[in-house]
Amino acid sequence: MYVIFGASGNVGRASIAALRRAGKPVRAVVRHAQQGEPFAQLGCSVAFADLGDSASIAQALEGATAVQMLCPVPQGDPHPERTMRGMIDAAAIALRAHPPAVLLALSDYGAQIEQGTGITTLFHYLETQLKPLAGSRTRLILLRAAEHMHNWNRVMPVALATGQLPSLHHPLDKRFPTVAAQDVGELAAELLLEENAAAAPLRIVSVEGPRRVNAYGVASVLSDVSGRPVAARELPRDAWTATLLRGGLSDGHAQLIVDLYDAHNAGHIDIEAGVGEQRFGATELAQVFAASQQDKA
């Protein structure tokens, strides 16, 4: 049984679709009943779990041979760091009690860095807590993904309304890696499906899109897709926190993002040189933006 946590997210949905196309039995783990219906229609079994509760996670793990684990950054939480660390701890407890043959954990570029990277620091903690599971009973795959292309959807309405795309990436010509969630999910499924008895107990795989971009390029793609003129604009560093708070984030979540982009702009968020494997997705930024525009039409 392939057990997919975070099934209702973009990555989880893509992984489940790929696994079902391969004819594999899948258990989709969601939080609410209404999230489970689309997966039941795909022929999946559905489990409900509270990621903050190790007993709940353990119940979803029963009979699992392969597991895809996602501990998401909590949205709308006043203490997202504390909450996510609690989810990671709960997952580690449950996985130690029910170790699958293969465990794939969704992580981030820069997760090799211990501190000073905001949200990515939490993925470092995730990796630290799960690495002891790698051994004779469990093959652990850490799938580190670049910044997701769909994150730009958050500022797309502002960009289309004003003609200016605000960017926390400074300077605007700095190139950075991005990746489509679809490509991450499909690669995760591919890695889960691989059968290699001689594989190392710990495998680190990094994935990004077919080409690196900069903020100018993102604005240009959005202009082409939308048919409206859009220009990139550096959001001043001293305006980041206020802008994020106006967007509905808590103080704690806003600080995690500020710290992340400070690390990005200092060049720290990237693949770990000389470690693991690197893969490249095929999906272009224009395809992600076009799909987003169609969804809103």
* pLDDT tens profile 144-166: 999 999 999 989 999 999 999 99
25 SS3 class = coil
Residue 195 confidence (pLDDT): 75
For residue 69, the cross-strand partners are 105
Q: Is the pLDDT of residue 30 over 80?
A: yes
Q: Where residue 197 falls among pLDDT bands split at 50, 70, 90?
A: low
Q: Which two tokens stand for residue 14?
A: 């893509």
Residue 260 confidence (pLDDT): 97
Q: Where residue 296 falls among pLDDT bands split at 50, 70, 90?
A: low
Q: What is the mean pLDDT of the chain?
A: 94
Buried b (16+ CB within 10 A) or exposed e, 53-73: ebebbbebbeebebbbbbbbb
pTM attached to this predicted model: 0.95
Each residue's pLDDT tens digit, 249-287:
999 999 999 999 999 999 999 999 999 999 999 999 999
Lowest-pLDDT range of 4-8, 166-170, 244-248: 244-248
Each residue's pLDDT tens digit, 202-250:
999 999 999 999 999 999 999 999 999 999 999 999 999 999 999 889 9
Q: Running DSSP on this structure, what letter comes out for residue 176?
A: B
Q: What percentage of the chain reaches a pLDDT higher than 70?
A: 98
- 68: amino acid identity, one letter: Q
CB hemisphere CA count around 284 (13 angstroms): 7
Q: Is the pLDDT of residue 295 over 80?
A: no
CATH code reported for the domain at 2-146+180-208+269-282: 3.40.50.720
161 SS3 class = helix
Residue 297 confidence (pLDDT): 57
The most confident of 65-79, 105-119, 192-206, by mean pLDDT: 105-119
Q: Is the pLDDT of residue 198 over 80?
A: no
Q: Which residues contact 242 (CB under 8 A, 6 or more apart)?
A: none
Each residue's pLDDT tens digit, 111-137:
999 999 999 999 999 999 999 999 988
Give the pLDDT mean for 44-73: 95
